[in-house]
A and B are shown apart, each in its own frame.
Chain A
Amino acid sequence: MGAIVRSGVSVVYLVLVVMTAVSWSAASQGFTGTFVIMTVGFGKAFLIGLFFMELLHAPRVLQGLLGLWCVACWAGILAFYMAG
């Protein structure tokens, strides 16, 4: 099992769990809090896409679409948060 587990994805998993804990414990009041949780959230999504979905070695088109989606959602959410 060691050979399987000892790979980049396992490290990414631990990073993701830590990021989850960070966003859960971060003060989610006001814009700063929202900025933190959303940035962490889309950071996690991006990591999942790159490492779990194996887009790291995929054609740039796919990486670009993932990045575009993350940025568009992140920006949109924060923009509407500020408008509220």
Chain B
Amino acid sequence: MGMTNAATENILFSTGGATRLSTGSPVGLTLKKTHIWAAWTGWIFTAGFLIAVCPLFAWTIPPYMGPSASAMEVKQFYLDHLFQIRVGAFIGMAASAFYYPWGAAIAAMLRRVENGRPPILTYTQLGAVGVAVFNSVLYFFWMAYCAFRADTMDAEMLRSLNDFQYILLEFEVFPLSLWAITIGLAILLDKSEHPVFPRWVAWVNFWFAGLVMTGQFMIFFKKGPMAWNGLLAVYWPAFVFFFWICAMSSFMIKALKREYGVRQEASTEAYA
């Protein structure tokens, strides 16, 4: 450990390659470090997503227009911003790759809470990761699709496809809420001596689960705060959602650095 490449080479040459390096892995890399990188994916996903949707690129958070825009207005928006929307979709798809490691990491860290019992909460979380990432990925798929041939597409059809983009962005709420409730339950039920996360982190999850719900109602409105460009459909749920992602990321980084949730101890009331 700590040997430079040149030093290694010298040793290899001089002893004919018979020296065994300690682990065979790149010098300095440990499982702990890798896990901490994995925990950072929440922040990376957030940054990538928000950059992809900002006015510089796709312009969907904040939305350029609303459900009451005419078909011509929608088409004009696409015609004027075709390239940047495509770049936004590209960045967004890249960002989406960082969503599932974040989710998987949380499930992995909380798995030991279920030692001694079937890991139902863990598997539920992994299932939720699939649903959520599918949603994120499909959203950027759809954005790319809308922008692919927008110049020759019929305006009404383009408006309709554009509506679906916002439905993808805002309408999947309850599956995420249940995911957060599962995480919260796992945290509250952690009765070990060194819990993975402090108890109050569960309540951050419950807060997210409850408060993001306003977005679920966007399907009923074309004007006002619950329309797909409204306060309660875009801005508030986006704030709550990305706060949750980044907060959980930070809690994980902290826990991994302090080695909480790393020891092999089963919970003290494994059959409780």
Q: Do chains A and B touch in the complex (CB under 8 A)?
A: no
Interfacial residues, chain B to chain A (CB-CB below 8 A) = none
Interfacial residues, chain A to chain B (CB-CB below 8 A) = none
